[in-house]
Structure 1
Amino acid sequence: MEIPIDRLADLVAEVARGSGEDTGSVLRAVLPSVYVADEERADVAAQLSQTLGVPESKVAGWVEKAVNKRTGYAYDLAIIKKGISKRLAIDLRERAPSLPGVEVRKGFERGYPEGTLAAHILGTVGQITAEQLQEDTWRRRRSGDVIGQGGVEYTYDEWLRGIDGSAKVEVDSLGRPKKTVPDGTLPQNGDSLVLTIDQRIQKAAERALVRGIEQAHRDQFWSANGAAAVVMDAANGEIIAMASYPTFEPGVWSGGISDEEHDRYFTEAANKPFFDRAIQAGYPPASTFKVVDALAALESGVITPYTTFPCEGDFTTHGLTFKCWVYPDGHGRLDLTGAIAQSCDVYFYNIGLAFYGRKGTELADWSGRLGLGKKTGVDLPGESEGLVPTPEWRRKHFADSSDPTDVLWKPGNSVNLSIGQGDLSATPLQMAVTYAAIANGGSIVTPHAGLRIVDASGETVQRLRTPEPRRSGVSQQSIKVVQAALRQAAASPVGTSVGVFGNYPVAVCGKTGTAEVFGKDDYAWYAGYAPQEPA
């Protein structure tokens, strides 16, 4: 005969994770979960299989996996299924006598009432991994903790997760709790994060990406399967909207990913929905880079606003011929404003060749001052720094090439760089920062999605601070020349985007771009700002 021996065990009381909000949309939901006691797991799979409507082997796998993830406390229950329906929760409670060791408990689990909206910004939550437990970032966490695994959930995890409480409970010989002993600390729910995101504009941006892909397919561009958009306040870097397509359901990780969901998101056809193309993907910026080329040339004294070059449809130097892709018959003689408005490649080929003949890396240096080739500092993990190629980079990158001439910086490299091609790459967010600098008079802002931390009552706990805008060093005279040219590109009869913005009710300034990558279809760009004059 076994005589139960009561003892005390520590109980860790987990708390509700704070939400992320734009104008009040709550991302937290209370959902029931199924728990099973460790000592009962040999029989529970068969008992639960019919009720949960899944094969017994799968339930057994859930149980075994959950037990392996437990925190290690003697009284612990292993979670085998999260987010079950209310009907199923009631059914399980009614069948409790025939399901020994099984409990249904309410617990806080992240919910996403807006579905896929702003998924890449919000990020996901999930149990901490064994690898993360070894990192300094998570040194205060323990096995089984739920942490931010992407987006602002990751960046602001310390604020959102709250503080677990503790209590002592009396347990029997099997580790099952009997009663609480008056001792311990109360848990504190996590604070909430107010975002800079405008939900209406975010929805519009995401719809625009979907419509753009659909239109590309109607136009027979079948390989068009990814896109990104950034809307940012040029004065302070607040991200109003940022979208990446394809996207995903953020809640997919909250209760464990199913086989069906795994196949949905991780096949080749899915096209990497978890990859945030707005901050992680580097593309040749093509003609959107011509404004950087223009500013660098003006500041370096390579040209003046009135310098003209003839365009006859192509440009030959050092035995190589480069075409003017926009107008193969030639634009005639143009000044800088006309060259930007009409996107004349030949004009900028001349600038690129001029930079090649000068000492140093002036074009690359000015590109860096305008935010390219380095991380923007956005408060989201995984950002790419892009690439602004230089002769030194080329020597290192091609050091092991079988062709010894690959390490050399040739005239063609400077000519290609001048129109945003070659090895140059930038993320959509980087180009947004560059164009924001043109819009605001030359300052580089730090993009950010977090605005402030608030408690449960809505009171501000912490206003999040971002670095003050820094001066790029570009003169106001040069900025004004490029601003005027961008307005002409969107509004003049010969502007490359006049068909879209010529009669637009707001004065738009912007530049089109078509990037060519060997072996791939073209990438389409548009970068700009509105209204014409900063508010």
Structure 2
Amino acid sequence: MVDPVADRRPPITPQLALRVAVFGGIALVLFAVIFFRLWYLQVLSGDQYLAEANDNRVRELRIQAPRGEIVDRNGRVLVTNRRAIVVQLDPAKLPEAERDLAATWGQRAGQRAARPKGRRGEEVPIPPIPDPVLEARYERLAEVLGTSANAIHRTVIRQLAQVPYADVRVKTDVPRSMLNYISERKAQFPGVRVEQVYLRQYPRDQIAAQLLGTVGEISPAQLRKKRYRDVTQGTIIGQDGLEYEYDNYLRGKDGLRRVQVDALGRPKGNLREVDPTAGREVKLSLDVRLQKTAQDALGEVGGGKPGAAVALDPRNGEVLAMASYPSFDPAVFTKPLTQAQYDKLVSDENGAPIFNRAIGSAYPTASTFKIVTAMAALETGTRSADEVINDGGVFKLGEQEFKNAGDAVNGAIDLRKAMEVSSDVYFYQLGAKLNNLRGQVLQTWARKLGIGRRTGIDLPGEFRGLVPDKEWRRDLAQEERSCRRKKKISQTANVYVAAAAGCGISDMRPWSAGDNVNLSVGQGDLQATPLQLATAYTTLANGGRRLKPHLGLEINDSQGRAIQRIESEGTTKVDFDPANRQAIMDGLKLAASGPSGTSTDVFKGWPHDRYPVYGKTGTAERQPKADQSWYAAYVPDERKPIVVVATVEEGGFGADTAAPIARQMLSQWFFGEAGEVVRGESRSR
């Protein structure tokens, strides 16, 4: 049967077959690509993308480790921790305009601060909030915190100007209800973090404030330093003082909390937590009661004038007290610091309370320096201890006249008597004779005993001081010549004219015998810190061991058990004849208890039979300021010997101010109470 014509299909032409084959091949290739891509994603890269997906819903939060406590030699707490809730702003979530504004304002404020006082002009104002959206954010947050949007803006600008990388702490110590409120409404407060942190707490208020130091978040520059190679961004570290010096022990190790969050970043639960490791306890050699006595005495006896006091154990260099007046409350640094607060802490008008005068201020030490001159003369054979000279009240050097303080005339005196009455004429003569010897022996002995060199104490910021000599004066003259050439000032111009034109570093004269005469009584260009002077008296007291003073005593665990002793290193042997030392010590003893001693009145009623005092007053001339008061003392004792040095700027005669401060410290050390203030009758410098 023949098919109808309608049922017939034309045969596939070769061209059509080719097209079908090509399209089929393309489709096959496309399906193969898709298949292999899916296989790659699911099989080869599945674990990777699973991890990334998990990371997208997991947040890692740092758990701050509490820093170790700092305690005194008897375990009394000086620094501890407390928990606090803080509200912070993430700088990365702030508009660029706000960050640029902070950088510009900080630059202008820094330029103003660099100008000399009196020429700084008005304070740099903080411009208004640059973005209305940001202003609305600040207003929402301000309503919760009980402040204003402008106050938050000012805080942000000041903190970003100082540390642009760190979270801006808007408010510290907020109630837990604020934490809950903000945490539950994260979308309304973008960039706001509410966290629990540890803040340093100071149960002794202002005691040892300049020693303890401050803490803060590590900076990018610090992260690059070798000592912080294992520290991560955001870690709280010691920034100065003992917090800095012993940061490696105090810091501890932060913990970690992995938190699961939803698509909006809201926490849904904890996944894993690594507990933080608390820092170690650092035990100091300080005695907190002696420290408090020193600070109180500086304020009360010193009449509110700036000053410092140091107490050392002459056997091992342990610092028993190191006070600087005025002091401050270190807790001020646990919260955001305003510019006004900072200016008050560094202002000279307020006595710069943040400044540690015991190691950072250097002064002429006046007659307390005479132990150095005496040792240099005795060791070189310039004069024997028993040789008698006539002190007529005046020493002449060419056309210059050098007089005793108060124009005193002491008559026939030897070394011991000269120390007792503090005869300047006796030591003026020694200074002139020593200048004629080769090798500048007076300067050499000053440095041997610890003057004009850093002691190496375990605190940052120690000043080197200065023992003037021929080389120093020559170098200073060269600096003056260079300055005058640069500023086109005549080399023959008067030093005051040069100073008015921007130089005046030196009068360009060479070293003279008069310079050595001034140095012999601790005057002239001498610059020594109270700690250096205490080191010199310690070296004399212990028979010739110049010790490295130290505050750190032990590293303890969380239970207060010692796990590491902090050993003091760097003891230097200073050789001198024991007979020469004894002659000087005899003179110091007479100065504190002899019939004509310059501090005998101060130690009236003191039990010299049990605790003999070897002391020396000093009254330093510091034109145009009033005289500075000094006292240095050593009291031997089998169980607890001590060396004390006290000084008060513009405090007058040594027996009037510094010596009574030293007596109060000695009373506390030996009898457990400061005792009454006893002032001496001023006889000499």
Q: CA offset at residue 225 of structure 1? A: 2.7
Distance 1:107 1:84, change over 3 A: same
Tell me the secondary structure at the aligned position of residue 378 of structure 2.
Answer: helix
Tell me the secondary structure at the aligned position of residue 271 of structure 2.
Answer: strand
- The question of whether the paired residues in 2 share the 8 Å contact of 1:442 and 1:475 is answered with no
Moved more, 413-422 or 475-484: 475-484
- The question of whether the paired residues in 2 share the 8 Å contact of 1:297 and 1:303 is answered with yes
> Which residue of the other structure, out of 64, 71, 76, is the alignment partner of 1:24?
76
Q: CA offset at residue 320 of structure 1? A: 1.0
* Superimposed CA distance per residue, residues 276-306 of structure 1 (whole angstroms, 9 cap, x where no aligned partner): 1000101001100001110111111111111
Distance 1:176 1:294, change over 3 A: farther
Match in the other structure for 1:352: 431
> Which residue of the other structure, out of 470, 477, 481, is the alignment partner of 2:583?
481
Quick one: distance in 2 between partners of 1:438 and 1:146?
43
What code does the residue aligned with 1:520 have? Answer: K
- The question of 1:93 aligning with 2:203 is answered no
Match in the other structure for 1:285: 365
Quick one: distance in 2 between partners of 1:44 and 1:15?
31
* Superimposed CA distance per residue, residues 231-255 of structure 1 (whole angstroms, 9 cap, x where no aligned partner): 1111111111110011122122222
Distance 1:267 1:53, change over 3 A: farther
Quick one: distance in 2 between partners of 1:432 and 1:66?
40
Distance 1:308 1:54, change over 3 A: farther
* Superimposed CA distance per residue, residues 161-206 of structure 1 (whole angstroms, 9 cap, x where no aligned partner): 1112335443444555444434x75421111101111111111000
What are the residue-to-residue correspondences of 1:9-48 with 2, within 5 Å?
9-22=59-72, 23-25=75-77, 26-35=79-88, 42=134, 43-48=136-141
Quick one: distance in 1 between partners of 2:94 and 2:427?
74
Tell me the secondary structure at the aligned position of residue 500 of structure 1.
Answer: coil
Q: CA offset at residue 59 of structure 1? A: 1.6
Quick one: distance in 2 between partners of 1:114 and 1:154?
20
> Which residue of the other structure, out of 477, 482, 485, is the alignment partner of 1:398?
477
- The question of whether the paired residues in 1 share the 8 Å contact of 2:458 and 2:552 is answered with yes
> Which residue of the other structure, out of 539, 542, 551, is the alignment partner of 1:449?
551
Quick one: distance in 2 between partners of 1:158 and 1:295?
42
Match in the other structure for 1:529: 634
Gap runs ≥5 in structure 1: 73-77, 215-223
Q: What count of residue pairs does the alignment treat as equivalent?
A: 515
Quick one: distance in 2 between partners of 1:405 and 1:61?
48
> Which residue of the other structure, out of 199, 213, 216, is the alignment partner of 1:126?
216
Quick one: distance in 1 between partners of 2:514 and 2:629?
23
Match in the other structure for 1:221: none
Match in the other structure for 1:317: 397
> Which residue of the other structure, out of 33, 37, 49, is the alignment partner of 2:142?
49
Match in the other structure for 2:622: 517
Quick one: distance in 1 between partners of 2:312 and 2:83?
34
Tell me the secondary structure at the aligned position of residue 516 of structure 1.
Answer: strand
Q: CA offset at residue 261 of structure 1? A: 2.2
- The question of 1:156 aligning with 2:229 is answered no
- The question of whether the paired residues in 2 share the 8 Å contact of 1:167 and 1:185 is answered with yes
Moved more, 24-33 or 357-366: 24-33
Distance 1:462 1:407, change over 3 A: farther
Match in the other structure for 2:41: none
Moved more, 143-152 or 328-337: 143-152
* Superimposed CA distance per residue, residues 436-464 of structure 1 (whole angstroms, 9 cap, x where no aligned partner): 11221221111111111111122222211
Tell me the secondary structure at the aligned position of residue 499 of structure 1.
Answer: coil
Moved more, 409-418 or 516-525: 516-525
Quick one: distance in 2 between partners of 1:104 and 1:93?
9
- The question of whether the paired residues in 1 share the 8 Å contact of 2:237 and 2:247 is answered with yes
Quick one: distance in 2 between partners of 1:123 and 1:157?
11
* Superimposed CA distance per residue, residues 309-345 of structure 1 (whole angstroms, 9 cap, x where no aligned partner): 21111111122111111x4141111100000110000
* Superimposed CA distance per residue, residues 102-132 of structure 1 (whole angstroms, 9 cap, x where no aligned partner): 6643221111121111101111112334544
Quick one: distance in 2 between partners of 1:9 and 1:92?
18
> Which residue of the other structure, out of 296, 300, 315, is the alignment partner of 2:376?
296
What code does the residue aligned with 1:210 have? Answer: G
Moved more, 413-422 or 4-13: 4-13
- The question of whether the paired residues in 2 share the 8 Å contact of 1:287 and 1:513 is answered with yes
Q: CA offset at residue 9 of structure 1? A: 4.0
What are the residue-to-residue correspondences of 1:75-474 with 2, within 5 Å?
78=167, 80-85=169-174, 88-90=175-177, 93=180, 100-101=188-189, 104-182=194-272, 185-214=274-303, 225-325=305-405, 327-401=406-480, 402=491, 406-467=508-569, 469-474=571-576
Gap runs ≥5 in structure 2: 1-53, 96-133, 481-490, 493-505, 642-685
Distance 1:311 1:406, change over 3 A: farther
What code does the residue aligned with 2:279 have? Answer: G
Structure exhibiting the larger radius of gyration computed from Cα positions: 2
- The question of whether the paired residues in 2 share the 8 Å contact of 1:89 and 1:104 is answered with no
TM-score (norm 1): 0.89
Distance 1:320 1:51, change over 3 A: same
Q: CA offset at residue 155 of structure 1? A: 0.2
Quick one: distance in 1 between partners of 2:202 and 2:300?
23
Quick one: distance in 2 between partners of 1:181 and 1:98?
22
- The question of whether the paired residues in 1 share the 8 Å contact of 2:85 and 2:179 is answered with no
- The question of whether the paired residues in 1 share the 8 Å contact of 2:250 and 2:281 is answered with yes
Quick one: distance in 2 between partners of 1:519 and 1:185?
62
Match in the other structure for 1:59: 152
Match in the other structure for 1:218: none
Q: CA offset at residue 476 of structure 1? A: 1.3
Quick one: distance in 2 between partners of 1:131 and 1:438?
43
- The question of whether the paired residues in 1 share the 8 Å contact of 2:69 and 2:281 is answered with yes
> Which residue of the other structure, out of 499, 505, 509, is the alignment partner of 2:601?
499
Moved more, 143-152 or 396-405: 396-405
Quick one: distance in 1 between partners of 2:553 and 2:593?
35
Match in the other structure for 1:75: none
Report which of the two has the higher share of helix: 2
What code does the residue aligned with 2:353 have? Answer: P
What is the alpha-carbon root mean square deviation over aligned residues? 2.8
Quick one: distance in 1 between partners of 2:521 and 2:352?
29
Q: CA offset at residue 154 of structure 1? A: 0.8
Q: CA offset at residue 348 of structure 1? A: 0.4
What code does the residue aligned with 1:233 have? Answer: D
Q: Give identity over the alignment, percent.
A: 37
Quick one: distance in 2 between partners of 1:24 and 1:242?
16
Q: CA offset at residue 426 of structure 1? A: 0.7
Quick one: distance in 1 between partners of 2:171 and 2:577?
58
